[in-house]
Structure formats: C-alpha cells, structure tokens
Structure 1
Amino acid sequence: MNPLRLVYLGLAIWGAIHPMSYFIAWFQEHGWQLGPMIDAWYVNNATSGLVWDLTIAAIALTVWIIAEVAVRRNWWGLIAIPATFGIGVSCGLPLYLFLRTRPV
C-alpha cells in the first residue's frame, strides 16, 4: 500500500474514533437520545454555523461520490456515504479517498 493511501486510511480511522469519543461521552452524560444532542448542536450561532458547514460539506461529498461511482463503477466507494452521515465528514472524506485510490 502506498504512503498516500496509508495517510487516507489513518485519517479515516482518526476521523471515526476521535469525534465518536466525544459523541459517546455526551450520550453517557445526557442519555442515549438523539433529540437532545441535535438540540445541543444549535445552542448558539457558532455551533449552528458549524453544523450547517458540515452538512453542506457532507451533501457535496455525497454528490461527488455518487457521480464518481456512476462513472468509475467503484461500488465500494458508496460505503463512505453512511460513514459520512453516521460518523462525520472527518471519516467519510478520507475513507472515500482511501477507497478511490486503490489500485485498479
């Protein structure tokens, strides 16, 4: 595996573990309901802006993944979509880049 792919893989793993550690800590403190967490994302303009920034980035990434999968037929790339919306762009983007750069 080339060094660039290793960097993408490392970032995908880091992008999955690091944010998820904060989510899990929050759930343990406030209960395992998604509604209160979503409410917490909009407590002020800074967090609302960040949520919208990441949402727009996730949608753009999803459109790019679907467009490329339609052309390249790299079906494994679709795995990055649930990773993006289930974990975050910090996992989905490097995961897709890792999958996209595999030898053909």
Structure 2
Amino acid sequence: MLCVLGFVLPYSQFVPFILEHGFDIKLFFEQLFANRISGFFGMDVIVSSLVLWIFVFLEGTRLKIQNLWVYIACNLLVGVSLGLPLFLFMRERQLEQQTETLGY
C-alpha cells in the first residue's frame, strides 16, 4: 500500500507539470529551487535519495537481494517515496526466507 501511495502522490503533481510544460528540465529545477522552502525540500529529497542508494547497495549486498538496480530505478523514476518502501518490503521478504531456510 505504501508503494502505491509513494507512486500516486508524487505523480499527481508531476504529471500535470509534464502535460503543461513537457520535459523541461531547466524549468523543473527552476521551480524546485524557486525559494528557500522548496529548496529545502529539494535538497532533502536529493540527500535522502543518496542515502537510499547507499543503504540499498550495502544492505542488499549483505542479504544477497537480487536486482538492486530496480530500487535505484524506482527512486530515479518516482522518488524515495517508492524506492524506500519497495526495498524495505523486499528486504523483509528476504529476511523471512533466510529465517525459514535456517529453520528458526
């Protein structure tokens, strides 16, 4: 459910922008950093994304989770709001499988 919300809510804002302006990257970043408050949120998302990439790589490698690129792609195509809950869900599944395999 969180993955669905993480996709739908950001795209509810992004799709109208794309329909109105197309893929105008320059305008996108101008509006993202239009003032200090929007810049605050923009920088927060950028830093959160970098932290997510490191977490996905380290934790995914440790737990031998397959296709780690998928979570980075979700982050880049939608945002932390999809990449993080999806990775955490798959991480939990992997942990449960490892527990079952060990017979606990």
**TM interval, short-chain normalised:** 0.7 to 0.9
Higher RCO by CA contacts (8 Å cutoff, separation 6 or greater): 1
Cα distance in 1 for partners of 2:8, 2:68 equals 20
Report the 3-state secondary structure (helix = DSSP H, G, I; strand = E; otherwise coil) of the residue aligned with 2:11: helix
Residue 87, structure 1, aligned to residue 64, structure 2: no
Matched residues, percent identical?
25
Q: Does the CA contact (< 8 Å) of 2:60 and 2:91 recur in 1?
A: no
Q: Does the CA contact (< 8 Å) of 1:69 and 1:78 recur in 2?
A: no
Cα distance in 2 for partners of 1:59, 1:18 equals 21
Cα distance in 2 for partners of 1:91, 1:21 equals 14
TM-score (normalised: structure 1): 0.83
Aligned to 1:14: 5
TM-score (normalised: structure 2): 0.83
Aligned to 1:27: 18
Q: CA deviation at 1:32?
A: 2.9
Task: Supply the RMSD in Å over aligned alpha carbons.
Answer: 1.3
Task: Show structure 1 runs of 4+ deviating over 4 A.
Answer: none
Total equivalences in the alignment: 95
User: What does residue range 1-104 of structure 1 map to in structure 2 within 5 Å?
Assistant: 10-102=1-93, 103-104=96-97
Larger radius of gyration: 2
